[in-house]
Amino acid sequence: MKNFLGFGLLLLLFGCEFGSEKELAVANGLRIYQQHCMACHGEKGEGNGLLYPPLQKSDYMLHDSVRTLQHIVQGVSGPMVVNGVSYRGIMPSEPTLNDVELGYLMTYLYNSWGRVGGHFTPDWIARNKPIN
């Protein structure tokens, strides 16, 4: 019985190690990305021609995470230059995602496709979200 308890504790410890909050956020963020963003920006954030700019290795996105959050929440239109290419599209706003979901999505975006870019908590989202 004692051994059994010890084993259980060990499993619990490993469970916490592998399922860190950030990993959980990335996994959930992937689902949100697939549902809300992938249709335009592509499976791996590669974008689509001159219509939809890339998120993968986007200098524009990497430059400013607060601006990225603003674009997601409020949408964006008008000219913008991403990796030297000019875009003039319209991105719709995404008002349905709550702070927890936005945190997952941002953490996914900044940790995918070869980046290592931080953990965006719901607190960070609340502090940096534009007021609609």
Stretch that binds ligand HEC, among 20-28, 67-75, 111-119, 124-132 (CB under 6 A): 67-75
Count of residues of this chain found to bind ligand HEC when the rule CB under 6 A is applied: 28
Encoded one letter per residue, x for contact with ligand HEC by CB under 6 A and - for no contact, window 112-131 reads: --------------------
Short-list 82, 80, 101, 98, CA closest to 90: 80
If you compute the radius of gyration of the chain from its CA atoms, what whole number of angstroms results?
18
> Beta-carbon neighbour count of residue 104 at 10 Å?
24
Site for ligand HEC in 81-110 (CB under 6 A): 82, 87-92, 94, 109
Question: Beta partners for 52?
Answer: 48
| CB-count burial class (<10 Å; 0-12, 13-18, 19+) for 80 | middle
Q: How far is the CB of 71 from ligand HEC (least distance, A)?
A: 5
Q: Is position 42 an interface residue for ligand HEC (rule: CB under 6 A)?
A: no
Short-list 89, 101, 80, CA closest to 35: 101
Residue whose C-beta lies closest to ligand HEC: 89
Going by their DSSP bridges, the two strands 90-91 and 76-77 should be labelled as antiparallel
Pick the binder of ligand HEC from 10, 39, 85, 100 (CB under 6 A): 39
The residues binding ligand HEC (CB under 6 A) are 36-37, 39-41, 52-55, 58, 60-61, 68, 71-72, 76-78, 80, 82, 87-92, 94, 109
